[in-house]
Amino acid sequence: MKKITIICISLAAFVVVALAAVYNESNFSSRGRMYQPAPEGHLIGQDNGSGGGLHHPGEDCGTCHRVGGRAESHLFTMAGTLYEDRSARSVVKQGEVIMEDWDGNIISMTSNEVGNFWTYSPVASDPYTVSNYHGHEPFVPMYVEDEEGNLLEPADPDSSNTWHYKTWIRNGNAYRPMASIAGVGGSSARNRMSCNMHHGGVAHRAGGLWVGKGSTLTSYPASGLSYQKHAYPILRSKCSPCHIPGKAKTSVNTKTALPEFGVDSTCIDYSGGLDLMTYEGSTVKVPKLGDDGKPIPNEFDTYSKIGVLGVVNTNASEQSALLLKTVSGGTQHAGGVFWNDSSLDYIALRQWIAEGALEN
Ligand code: HEC
Ligand code: HEC
């Protein structure tokens, strides 16, 4: 019996060592996980801390909840606020924030009366973390390798920059994948931040994650739909965080996302080259950044994207990519499912397209 236990323990130890030593890119890449549904089977809300946490909804919890901050006694690994939509008009109570970390651990948090959620659960560290400034160069490996590419020293697991995860938000049956897979982050001076920093609202100063189930407007006319009054507000409130003009890439934060591995290996353009904030599409020129992270004079990167017109079919409105990609039972979409064919927003968009998808 004892012998078996010892064998088991050493086997387990071997497996752990093997996992730590073998670098598996597919274990964590935004491309590889682009179409993954939210994980199931875990205990919902299992990773919430106890206590009230009813203050400062929408603010960056990390300003106080960090090492050396005013709330250092409550050092979260992740925290934030959950809203119904990007305008952050109303919060989601009892929504679920699901994180899957680098090791495949599932962390589940439930939002409270003010939409706040938080956890103290450890987030696995990516030994091959690359530090960068918001996905821009310079890309500096935080790990040490020998000439053969063997890992000599992993990135410091105590640094929250190395904690990597992927996130989904669930609100009843609806779930929404969150595109960003940045590390938990901050810097040595600012060692914790929160979801509220990045997933910012549009109309509201505060940030926050959002997952909308309801329709954008409470009602739509049966005919005579308008782009300005009806279609655009839907696209703005549901599609804007991803389908925007300009650069829209997940940040470079692990070894295989470095340019020498092909920038696209783990990085994705989360707009898919589609800008739904403009009718005819957009071309945006942004200054190119040098190795020091500063703009190079007179050098630009150009991002050209198709617009709403490029994904509508006025002869068969239901067959429009805009609807097929987003309706329940339609084609696979990295942004997830937004409605079914009896949802008000869906019917309004379909009608607007059938009426010629005019820029009215
Ligand atoms: C302006 C500073 C500040 C911000 C911003 C802030 N907190 Fe706090 N928080 C505190 C302080 C101070 C405490 C009490 C610490 C102590 O008891 O030592 C606290 C305590 C807590 C607690 C412990 C239980 C309780 O209610 O006392 C939770 C949970 C919490 N905060 C959640 C959050 C969340 C979630 C956010 C972001 C939406 C957030 N906090 C933003 C300052 C802040
Ligand atoms: C979380 C990010 C995200 C959100 C939100 C999102 N999408 Fe997407 N979408 C993507 C990504 C990434 C792609 C490219 C991969 C794919 O085709 O699924 C894409 C692709 C598409 C395409 C295909 C483009 C093409 O040229 O073939 C359409 C159409 C589309 N999305 C429509 C929408 C609409 C309409 C909404 C809002 C109701 C929306 N998306 C919300 C991420 C998102």
Same domain, yes or no: 174 and 252: no
Q: How far apart are CA 120 and CA 75, in angstroms?
A: 7
Boundary residue ending a domain (181, 213, 245): 213
Same domain, yes or no: 239 and 184: no
Give 58-98 pLDDT, tens digit per residue: 888 888 998 889 999 999 988 888 887 766 677 888 999 99
Same domain, yes or no: 179 and 85: yes
Nearest ligand 1 atom to the CA of 81 is 38
Using the predicted structure, report yes or no on whether residue 331 has a pLDDT greater than 90.
yes
User: In a mutational test of the pocket of ligand 2, which residue from 31, 242, 311 has the highest number of ligand atoms less than 8 Å from its CB?
Assistant: 242
Same domain, yes or no: 205 and 290: no
Least confident span in 35-44, 257-266, 292-301, 308-317? 257-266
Number of structural domains in the chain: 2
Same domain, yes or no: 209 and 231: no
What does the block give as tokens for 197?
């920093």
Same domain, yes or no: 199 and 295: no
The CA 72 to ligand 1 mean position distance, Å, reads: 9
pLDDT exceeding 90 applies to what percent of the chain? 38
Q: How far apart are CA 106 and CA 236, in angstroms?
A: 31
The sign one gets for the Cα dihedral 183, 184, 188, 189 is positive
Nearest ligand 2 atom to the CA of 334 is 18
Q: Residue 54: give the domain boundaries.
A: 30-124+163-213
Same domain, yes or no: 117 and 80: yes
Q: How far apart are the first and last CA of the chain?
A: 78
Same domain, yes or no: 246 and 181: no
At 237, which helix (H) or strand (E)?
Answer: helix 232-239
Is 322 a member of any domain? yes
Is 151 a member of any domain? no
328-357 core/surface letters (b: 16 or more CB in 10 A; e: else): eebeebbbbbbbeeebbbbbbbbbbbbeeb
Ligand 2 close to Cβ of residue 270 (< 6 A): yes
Is 13 a member of any domain? no
Sequence-distant (6+) residues with CB within 8 A of 254 are 25, 28, 29, 126, 128, 129, 130, 164, 266
Same domain, yes or no: 60 and 110: yes
Least confident span in 9-13, 106-110, 221-225? 9-13
Is 136 a member of any domain? no
Same domain, yes or no: 168 and 308: no
**Which of 123-127, 257-261, 315-319 has the highest average model confidence (pLDDT)?**
315-319
Same domain, yes or no: 304 and 321: yes
**Mean pLDDT on 280-287:** 94
The residue ranking higher by pLDDT, 61 or 257, is 61
Same domain, yes or no: 48 and 175: yes
This prediction's pTM? 0.84
3-class SS shares of the chain: helix, strand, coil, % to 5: 20, 25, 55
Which DSSP string do the residues of 91-139 spell out, in sequence order? BPTT-EEEEEETT--EEEEE--TTSEEEE-----B-TTBEEEETTEEEE
